[in-house]
Amino acid sequence: MQNELPEHELAIVGSGFAGLGMAIEAKRAGIEDFVVLERAHQLGGTWRDNHYPGCGCDVPTPLYSYSFAPNPYWSHLYARSEEIRDYLERCADEFAVREKIRFGTEVTGARWDAEAQRWEVEIDGRPALTTRFVVGGFGGLSRPAYPDIDGLEDFAGALFHSAQWDHEVPLAGKRVGVIGTGASAIQLIPQIAKAGAEVTVFQRTPPWIVPKLDRPIRRPEQQLYAKLPVAQKALRALIFTITEGVGVAITRYPRLLAIGEVWARRHMRKAIGDVHLREQLTPDYRLGCKRILPSNDYYPALARDNVELVTAGIDRVTPTGVRAADGADHELDVLVCGTGFQIEEVFMHLDVRGRDGITLRDAWAPGIEAHRGTTISGFPNLALLSGPNTGTGSTSQVYMIEAQIHYALELMRELRRGQAGAIEPRAEAQADYNAWIQKRMQRTVWLRGGCNSWYLDSAGVNRTLYPGPSSSFWRSLRRVELAEYRLEPARRRVSEPVAVPA
Ligand code: NAP
């Protein structure tokens, strides 16, 4: 351990919803000695990176926002990405945590020093600081995945990922190919079609699309929420109750989802008269198996003359376009990959060494897993936000993140309360928890619905989502069960107690 390195109580990695929320809650809990390490030059995480045309939240924003920072001024029930970005910027200022963020600082690894009971954090490959506790808010969807398609690198036109949109490339009058029909693609396709591009959509699997119950939130309603916050709380509670209901169906009673399929089919029929096109767009798996996508403009966009749907599959990318599996060549000027994200790489690319030098890569070689989605045996004083099996297929990820933030603070409080220097989950507790997760998983539509999705790893195991309603996840993280943890006595004096915001 290099003694001259700056020492902190807490280091938070990332400044998206997770890292920023942790910073705010840490501050509210009375922790002053913390630092937020952010590789980019702006905060906002996924909402900073994703600015493709039409980008917005597909969960109503009164719920997809911090419980401790309601915003009465959302312009729509489903906010657009720039509004969410502005909201996060405002939160950083209102809660006075911006000065804690070190921008342009990429964490590349961390090493647990058992003697000092501290993490030595590496920035750009070099030890840069030490900290008693680390919270990782890396963001599950922060590393774009390009498709593994022959010839992609030979494409001579403009090529970019939905999460790395190049606004310098003009699209009007251009031939634009979009690979993928997931949550991002279905938002951007209508916008680029409207902007006058000739769009070719390469669909591998059709998604289920339901009506988007969006509406503007006008001035009088905003003023009501500003003057009477309880009114907005009631709206939040209503949205929460509805999304929890969907969550229960997804995780326990997948057959009920057939009702949603009737709704989605009617939605498609209203927009698309062509029977053949409807057949191409109708999924052959249960609704909810992949993310349910709300949109009112995706189907109408596919019915436009300047949009073509290709379902033959992709044989290869050529310098001038895409050759489909049926031999047809689609000439293109621009190729957009709406092909999702690398999930496990978010954690695996880091050089994290825990107790006895074990690396995270080795610990997770059989598959990524954590105790209550947050802590990892062998890696003391570390909490992950949006870790394994903490995603939600139906409700707000911000709600899940807040539950984990509370848990991370509880862990820090236990450290201080017990005058301990290190806390980590017992291997048996972690194994039991994950056995329970996978048992519960068997009932979910994600395994029973007859689809393949990014929720599943290469062995077909769902290590991304929580197999229950989000309120049950929240309850399971209200307090730390000490029997599940190993506490090591502190070798150094432990400072003041941490208050945990209610
Ligand atoms: P995604 O849901 O993973 O969709 C990727 C799409 O690319 C799928 O249609 C997939 O087809 C296709 N694809 C991937 N590799 C391909 C290949 N080699 N050849 C042909 N097609 C290929 O990615 P995403 O749309 O970026 O969304 C990812 C997640 O981000 C979402 O599930 C959601 O959690 C989040 N998101 C949220 C919002 C929001 O509003 N809150 C908005 C956007 C994204 P298959 O289906 O056949 O695999």
Cα(321)–Cα(447) distance, rounded to whole angstroms? 36
Whether 181 is in the pocket of ligand 1, judged by its Cβ within 6 Å, is yes
Residue 317 is predicted with a pLDDT of: 98
- In this structure, the residue with its CA closest to atom 12 of ligand 1 is 180
Cβ-based burial of 462 (10 A; exposed 0-12, middle 13-18, buried ≥19): buried
Q: What is the CA(187)–ligand 1 centre distance, in A?
A: 11
Query: Does residue 491 sit in helix, strand or coil?
Result: coil
- In this structure, the residue with its CA closest to atom 22 of ligand 1 is 180
Query: Does residue 425 sit in helix, strand or coil?
Result: strand
Closest ligand 1 atom, residue 454 Cα: 3
CA 424 vs CA 118, 137, 350: distances in Å: 13, 18, 20
Q: Are the C-beta atoms of residues 378 and 398 closer than 8 Å to each other?
A: no
- In this structure, the residue with its CA closest to atom 10 of ligand 1 is 180
DSSP state of 342: -
Q: What is the CA(184)–ligand 1 centre distance, in A?
A: 6
Helix (H) or strand (E) holding 91: helix 81-94
Which of 146, 184, 291 is the best mutation target for the ligand 1 pocket, counting ligand atoms within 8 Å of the beta carbon and taking the most? 184
Kindly give the parts of the chain with pLDDT less than 50.
1-2, 497, 502
Whether 152 is in the pocket of ligand 1, judged by its Cβ within 6 Å, is no
Helix (H) or strand (E) holding 9: strand 7-13
Whether 367 is in the pocket of ligand 1, judged by its Cβ within 6 Å, is no
Burial 220-236 (b: 16+ CB within 10 A, else e): ebbeebeeeeeebeebb
Whether 179 is in the pocket of ligand 1, judged by its Cβ within 6 Å, is yes
List, for residues 413-471, the tens digit of each pLDDT value: 999 887 899 999 999 999 999 999 999 999 999 999 999 999 999 999 999 999 999 99
Q: Are the C-beta atoms of residues 449 and 255 closer than 8 Å to each other?
A: no
Closest ligand 1 atom, residue 55 Cα: 42
Q: What is the CA(287)–ligand 1 centre distance, in A?
A: 15
Which of 85, 243, 291, 311 is the best mutation target for the ligand 1 pocket, counting ligand atoms within 8 Å of the beta carbon and taking the most? 291
Residue 432 is predicted with a pLDDT of: 98
Cα pseudo-dihedral 389, 394, 398, 403, rounded to 10 = -50
The partner residues of 334 in beta bridges, in order of sequence, read: 158, 176
Q: What is the CA(181)–ligand 1 centre distance, in A?
A: 6
Closest ligand 1 atom, residue 163 Cα: 26
Q: What is the CA(232)–ligand 1 centre distance, in A?
A: 31
Whether 24 is in the pocket of ligand 1, judged by its Cβ within 6 Å, is no
Place of tokens 């984990």: 404
- In this structure, the residue with its CA closest to atom 28 of ligand 1 is 340
Closest ligand 1 atom, residue 183 Cα: 25
Closest ligand 1 atom, residue 205 Cα: 47
Residue 488 is predicted with a pLDDT of: 96
Residue 225 is predicted with a pLDDT of: 98
Cα(102)–Cα(37) distance, rounded to whole angstroms? 5
Whether 188 is in the pocket of ligand 1, judged by its Cβ within 6 Å, is no
pTM for the full model? 0.95
Whether 79 is in the pocket of ligand 1, judged by its Cβ within 6 Å, is no
Q: Are the C-beta atoms of residues 361 and 348 closer than 8 Å to each other?
A: yes
Q: Which of 1, 34, 7, 5 is nearest to 408 (CA)?
A: 34
Q: What is the CA(454)–ligand 1 centre distance, in A?
A: 8
Residue 498 is predicted with a pLDDT of: 56
